[in-house]
Amino acid sequence: MLLQTAKSPVVTGYGRAASPELAALKCIEAIGNVSPKMLLVFCGGKLDGFRILSQFRDKYGDIPIVGGAAAGAIAGESFGYSGLEVTALALLSDSVTPHVLIADDLTDGEYEVSRRLGVEISERINYGDTITLFYDSVAANPPLKLHMATRIVAGLMDGCRHKRPTVLGGGLLTDLNLSEGWIFDGRDVRKHGLVALAWPSGVKADTFVMNGCVPASSFLEITRIDGAVVYELDGEPALSVLEQRLGRPMTTGPEGTISLLATLGQKQGDQFAPFDEHSYVNRLILTGDPAEGSVTLFEADFELGAKVQIMARDNALMLDSVRRGVRAANEIIGQGDTLFSLYIDCAGRASIRSGAAREEASLVVDGLDQSAPLIGLYSGVEIAPFDGEPRALDWTGLLAVMRYNP
C-alpha cells in the first residue's frame, strides 16, 4: 500500500513478518520505487536491526537511515506491538530533509553528552527551528535502569543556548517489558545513542499531547528523594503510601516490578484550579523496593518538597483524550501544508498493558486525516513542548503534525 498524496515529498510504508528480511521487504514494497534522501525507520524488537538496515540499504543505497527499535509500530492503516512490525518514512526532497546529528554514548552522562550535541545543533539552526530526538531508553538490564530523558532535554537546551528550538521525540524500546533498546544513527545500529533531526526552518511541528490520568489522592509532599528514587511521601515510606491509597499491592514480580497501576503527578500552575489533565506532568513508577519502602520513577526531575498526587490511570479518559487530540490535529491537516503526522505512543497505553477495551492507537489510525502520511511507534518516554519548554512525559500519546511552509 502506497501512502503518498499527489506531489507529496513524503511516503510511508508498513510491513510485518517473522523474518526481518521479509518484514523489511513488505515495508519497501509499500513505499515503492522512489529515491529517498533519508529514511526514518522503526522496527519491533524481535527483528534484527542489522538485517533490517541491510534490506533498506540494498534497496535505497547509502542514505541516512535513522530511527531504531520500537515496542510497536504504527502506520496509516496498520499498527501492532508483536515485535515483528516495521514502519518507515521516506523523505524525497532536500527541501524537507533534516540534518542528522548524533551523540556517542549516553553512559558518559546524559546531560553532558546531550549538551555537546546541543552546541552542534545550535551551529546549524535558526531560532525556534524544530528538532526531533530519538534515544535508546535502556541504560542497563538487569537490574533495569533507564537513560533519563529529563537530563537529555536539559543538556540539549543548555547547549542550544539562545536558539530555543522546538523539541519533540521519544525513547526507543525493543518491547513492552523495557528489555532493551537501540537506535539507527544514520549509518549503523547504535546502543546508548542519541540522534537528533534538525529540520529545515520551513518545517514546523504542531503537537498534541494526550493523557488519561486522574488524581487518586490529595497533595502529598516528597519528604525524601534521591534522583529518581522516592523514599518518603509525607514522612512515610513511599511504596506503603501508594499501596494504602490504592488499596492493593504495587509490586507484581521479581526485582520490585511495578504493575503500572498508577503514576505520581505534579500539577503545574494553580494547585487549586479545577482538574485539567493537561496541567499534570506524570511520572510512571519503574520499580518498587519493599525492603526500603521506596519507588523509582522513570525520570529524576521531582525534587525534595515537591507536592505530588497519586494519579490513577483512567482508560475512558485516555480514549476521550485521543479523540480530542485527533480532532485538533485534523484541523491543522485540513489547512493543506502537512508533510506527515508522527505518533509517539507510550508502550504502557497498549491495551495489553492498560486493560483498555479498545486500542487507543486505533483511534489515531482510524480517525486521523489520511491526506498526510502517518508514521508512529510505541515508546518508553515521550518528549514534547509543555508550557513553552520541552518536557519528558510519561504515559502520554504525542501526536505531531509536521508542516512545511517555506
Q: What's the per-residue H, E or C state across the chain?
A: CCECCCCCCEEEEEEECCCHHHHHHHHHHHHCCCCCCEEEEEEECCCCHHHHHHHHHHHHCCCCEEEEEECEEEECCCEECCCCEEEEEEECCHHHCCEEEEECCHHHCHHHHHHHHHHHHHCCCCCCCEEEEEEECEEECCCCEECCHHHHHHHHHHHHHHHCCEEEEEEECCCCCCCCCCEEEECCEECCCEEEEECCCCEEEEEEEECCEEECCCCEEEEEEECCEEEEECCEEHHHHHHHHHCCCCECCHHHEECCCEEEEEECCCCCCCCCHHHEEEEEEEEEECCCCEEEECCCCCCCCCEEEEEEECHHHHHHHHHHHHHHHHHHHCCCCEEEEEEEEEHHHCHHHHCCCCCHHHHHHHHCCCCCCEEEEEECCEEEEECCEEEEECCCEEEEEEEECC
Chain segment 320-363, per-residue pLDDT in tens? 999 999 999 999 999 999 999 999 999 999 999 888 999 999 99
pTM for the predicted model, two decimal places: 0.94
Please, which pLDDT band fits residue 121 given cuts at 50, 70 and 90?
A: very high
Residue 1 pLDDT:
38
Residue 343 pLDDT:
98
Residue 5 pLDDT:
42
Please, which pLDDT band fits residue 317 given cuts at 50, 70 and 90?
A: very high
Chain segment 93-112, per-residue pLDDT in tens? 999 999 999 998 999 999 99
The mean pLDDT of 46-66, rounded to a whole number, is: 98
| Segments making up each domain of the chain, as ranges | 10-210+317-404, 213-312
For the cut 60, the answer to whether the pLDDT of residue 2 exceeds it is no
